[in-house]
């Protein structure tokens, strides 16, 4: 028996969750992230775990880790210098992308600078057709000439992305062999080996991002391992992935791209764990930090998965937990335009300089400052002593806008809060419309530093069933890493019409994926239990330009039951879009297999039963409904199972503050979750 430790490095803070395997005790803490000295925050946090909670490094039996180093590499454009080899005639793939631009009403609109400039893109004489036939094998001379030119241009790696690499990788593999033979020191990244989807731009950009972050992330992981070794942590660490699972460090170093979105994914996985353990079947998760606000759907604790998540200027097409951005978090800056209309965002103070009230050099009023002015936060220390709120600074920042508007500082702060909620409402209602959900059946599970602060206001606008605030909302990503399963995705692009005779390629693909998946889980990750396999296919009616991911029973494929596959797709299309077309031909675009090996889960501890009513720690003044009024402040750790109280109220804890406006009732459940429901009006 020992400790299980999860560490999640975010933009502003690094979160730690440690679970005592002996008695299920969960302890958490936060330290500032150290982008200047990555790894230092881990040393500091482990030190605090030891000194404050008695978690000795040598007792850490299981260790998971997520980091933003990959995503930062893309956002800051600090990756390596790459060359891209494409099929000759298609060298402009990155420059043209999918043509369409954001904010296309602006005549100055531009696409982002390509990750690899055109002068390091080289066309190679080779060709594969859509059916996998090879009219032209890869030309050795053309390849070696390109390699020389790439080296001369200072390339530190080569991305290979040939047309129809989704269908056949023979030319890419042959090219890789030739290139590595000629120069083993110049790494090669094969698009067909990273995520072989059809659509050349999407596959190419994914491979480019993969190669781009590779050395930075691998180097970081080397140092991370060394840090753990020096501290005497015996556990072999596992790294969290964008798909919500974990993998070993060796694989993480080889497939760095798999971890770029692990931070947001882990939060949703942590929320999913809470949802399953505590019995919340229909949730939207709301994760608000300093620089982002993200929403995800959890049905019976299961996240939704997809590809095409946004990372910096690009979309990346690897399987990821689906989240939708609904704003830029607590750091979004408020301003007043020339017409006396208040605006919030799109500029953000981010984590540096951050909100004015953080006292780290920020002077512009942010959402967090508005909430501080209203007296809703600032009654205890945020982020485990990392930040002491400077309410005066917040008042000064918001006051400047109030002067412009000719109204009071508090009124201005209230308007900023209302406006930010309405902006989140607009984006959230988009997600709800897109998935065709009925918001009244869903509760909002709030986490991240600022999630619980804003959740009730948003849930009220969305007419939701209520809000759930888990016991440690500020460190849910770290908890998510702790409970994540070993998980990996496999794909074969089929692109065939579903008809008699289509069963053979499907069966071959399934068998091959099974082999790959088992090799990964058993041989590479050393998993000894029973694997869980999930099969699905992306299908569409002929002529449609988008696919519907349809869950399948592997037995249907093995038995060659084409009718069952067809029926499954029709049913899924009907469910999602309200109509199906039994006459139209159906195409199977890809077959996907997910393998998961369940890791041991902690047992959430039940908290002590309440005796009598909760006693507020203090009564504070807050500006609500247009006036200052006394509001009870509860300490989270003093709440007991069965406690109930009414809003307005504030619940403070080291990693977050929960604001409960009037009109909501709070009940504390057996696990310590705050169950907040709107009262009938």
Binding site for another protein (CB under 8 A): 89-93, 95-96, 98-101, 103-111, 117-119, 129-130, 163-164, 166, 198-202, 336-344, 405, 407, 412, 415, 418-419, 422-423, 425-426, 429-430, 433-434, 436, 461, 463, 495, 543-546, 576-579
Nearer to another protein, 59 or 369 (CB): 369
Nearer to another protein, 127 or 253 (CB): 127
Query: Measured from the CB of residue 426, what is the shortest distance to another protein in angstroms?
Result: 4
What is d(CA 42, CA 266) in angstroms, rounded to the nearest whole number?
Answer: 18
From 16, 97, 11, select the one nearest 64 (Cα to Cα).
16
Nearer to another protein, 407 or 621 (CB): 407
18-22-28 Cα angle (round to 5): 15
Query: Measured from the CB of residue 297, what is the shortest distance to another protein in angstroms?
Result: 15
Query: Measured from the CB of residue 156, what is the shortest distance to another protein in angstroms?
Result: 19
Q: Where are the alpha helices (DSSP H) in 154-199?
A: 170-182, 191-194
Could you give the C-alpha distances from 176 to 27, 202, 227, in angstroms and in order?
48, 21, 34
Q: What are phi and psi of 602, to 5 degrees?
A: -70, 155
Confirm if 269 and 480 have CB atoms less than 8 A apart: yes
Residue that is written with structure tokens 């780290």 in the block: 360
Residue that is written with structure tokens 């556990």 in the block: 235
Query: Measured from the CB of residue 339, what is the shortest distance to another protein in angstroms?
Result: 5
Query: Measured from the CB of residue 109, what is the shortest distance to another protein in angstroms?
Result: 5
Pairing label, strands 627-635, 649-653: parallel
Rg of the chain in Å (alpha carbons): 26
Query: Measured from the CB of residue 43, what is the shortest distance to another protein in angstroms?
Result: 44
From 362, 306, 359, select the one nearest 333 (Cα to Cα).
362
Query: Measured from the CB of residue 204, what is the shortest distance to another protein in angstroms?
Result: 10
Would you give the distance in Å from CA 299 to the centre of its chain? 17
What is d(CA 533, CA 551) in angstroms, rounded to the nearest whole number?
Answer: 11
Confirm if 237 and 253 have CB atoms less than 8 A apart: no
What is d(CA 325, CA 431) in angstroms, rounded to the nearest whole number?
Answer: 10
Nearer to another protein, 497 or 621 (CB): 497
Nearer to another protein, 72 or 420 (CB): 420
Contacts of 87 (CB under 8 A, 6+ apart): 123, 124, 126, 127, 162, 163
Query: Measured from the CB of residue 594, what is the shortest distance to another protein in angstroms?
Result: 24
Distance from first CA to last CA of the chain, Å, rounded?
Answer: 51
Give the DSSP letter string of 192-236: HHH---S-HHHHHHHHHHHHHHHHHHHHHHHHHHHHHHHHT--SP
Query: Measured from the CB of residue 398, what is the shortest distance to another protein in angstroms?
Result: 13
What is d(CA 570, CA 581) in angstroms, rounded to the nearest whole number?
Answer: 7
Nearer to another protein, 296 or 402 (CB): 402
Nearer to another protein, 95 or 508 (CB): 95
Query: Given phi > 0 = left and psi -120 to 50 = alpha, else beta, which region is 431?
Result: alpha
Nearer to another protein, 500 or 528 (CB): 500
Nearer to another protein, 118 or 250 (CB): 118
Nearer to another protein, 35 or 123 (CB): 123
Query: Measured from the CB of residue 131, what is the shortest distance to another protein in angstroms?
Result: 8
Query: Measured from the CB of residue 513, what is the shortest distance to another protein in angstroms?
Result: 21
Token pair belonging to 161 = 């992305």
């Amino acid at each position: 028996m020992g400790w299980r430790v999860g560490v999640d490095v975010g933009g502003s803070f690094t979160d730690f969750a440690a679970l005592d395997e002996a008695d299920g005790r969960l302890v958490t803490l936060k330290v500032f992230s150290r982008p200047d000295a990555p790894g230092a925050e881990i040393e500091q946090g482990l030190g605090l775990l030891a000194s404050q909670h008695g978690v000795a490094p040598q007792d850490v039996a299981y260790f998971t880790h997520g980091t933003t180093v990959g995503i930062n590499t893309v956002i800051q454009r600090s990756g390596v210098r790459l060359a891209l080899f494409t099929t000759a005639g298609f060298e402009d793939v990155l420059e043209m992308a999918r043509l369409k631009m954001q904010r296309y009403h602006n005549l100055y609109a531009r696409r982002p600078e390509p990750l690899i400039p055109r002068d390091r893109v080289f066309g190679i004489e080779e060709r594969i057709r859509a059916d996998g036939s090879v009219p032209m094998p890869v030309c050795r001379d053309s390849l070696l000439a390109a390699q020389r030119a790439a080296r001369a241009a200072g390339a530190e790696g080569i991305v290979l992305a040939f047309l129809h690499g989704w269908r056949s990788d023979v030319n890419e593999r042959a090219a890789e062999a030739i290139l590595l033979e000629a120069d083993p020191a110049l790494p090669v990244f094969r698009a067909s080996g990273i995520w072989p989807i059809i659509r050349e731009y999407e596959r190419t950009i994914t491979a480019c991002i993969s190669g781009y972050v590779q050395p930075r992330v691998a180097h970081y992981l080397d140092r991370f391992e060394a840090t753990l070794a020096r501290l005497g942590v015996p556990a072999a660490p596992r790294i969290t992935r964008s798909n919500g699972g974990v993998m070993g460090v060796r694989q993480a170093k080889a497939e760095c791209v798999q971890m770029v979105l692990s931070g947001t994914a882990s939060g949703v996985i942590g929320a999913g764990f809470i949802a399953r353990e505590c019995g919340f079947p229909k949730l939207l998760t709301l994760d608000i930090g300093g620089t982002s606000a993200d929403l995800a759907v959890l049905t019976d604790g299961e996240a939704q998965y997809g590809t095409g998540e946004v990372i910096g200027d690009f979309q990346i097409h690897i399987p990821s937990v689906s989240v939708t951005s609904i704003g830029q978090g607590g750091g979004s800056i408020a301003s007043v335009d020339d017409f006396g209309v208040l605006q919030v965002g799109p500029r953000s103070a981010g984590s540096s300089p951050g909100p004015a009230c953080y006292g780290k050099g920020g002077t512009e009023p942010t959402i967090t400052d508005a909430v501080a002015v209203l007296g809703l936060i600032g009654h205890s220390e945020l982020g485990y002593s990392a930040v002491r709120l400077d309410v005066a600074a917040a008042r000064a920042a918001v006051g400047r806008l109030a002067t412009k508007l000719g109204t009071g500082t508090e009124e201005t702060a209230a308007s900023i809060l209302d406006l930010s909620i309405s902006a989140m409402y607009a984006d959230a209602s988009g997600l709800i419309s897109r998935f065709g959900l009925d918001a009244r059946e869903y509760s909002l599970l709030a986490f991240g530093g600022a999630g619980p602060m804003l959740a009730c206001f948003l849930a009220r606008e969305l007419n939701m069933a209520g809000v759930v605030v888990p016991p440690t909302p500020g460190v849910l990503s770290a908890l998510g890493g702790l409970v994540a399963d070993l998980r990996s995705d496999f794909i074969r692009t089929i692109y065939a019409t579903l008809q008699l005779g289509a069963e053979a390629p499907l069966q071959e693909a399934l068998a091959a994926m099974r082999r790959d998946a088992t090799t990964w889980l058993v041989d590479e990750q050393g998993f000894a239990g029973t694997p869980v396999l999930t099969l699905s296919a992306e299908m569409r009616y002929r002529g449609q330009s988008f696919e519907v991911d349809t869950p399948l029973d592997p037995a249907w494929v093995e038995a060659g039951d084409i009718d069952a596959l067809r029926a499954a797709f029709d049913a899924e299309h009907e469910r999602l879009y309200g109509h199906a077309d039994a006459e139209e031909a159906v195409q199977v675009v890809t077959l996907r297999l997910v393998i998961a090996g369940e890791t041991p889960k902690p047992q959430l501890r039940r908290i002590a039963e309440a005796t009598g009513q909760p006693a507020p720690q203090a009564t504070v003044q807050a500006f609500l409904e247009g006036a200052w009024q006394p509001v009870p402040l509860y300490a989270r750790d003093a709440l007991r199972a069965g406690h109930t109280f009414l809003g307005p109220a504030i619940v403070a804890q080291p990693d977050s503050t929960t604001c409960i406006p009037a009109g909501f009732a709070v009940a504390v459940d057996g696990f310590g979750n705050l169950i907040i429901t709107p009262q009938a009006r």
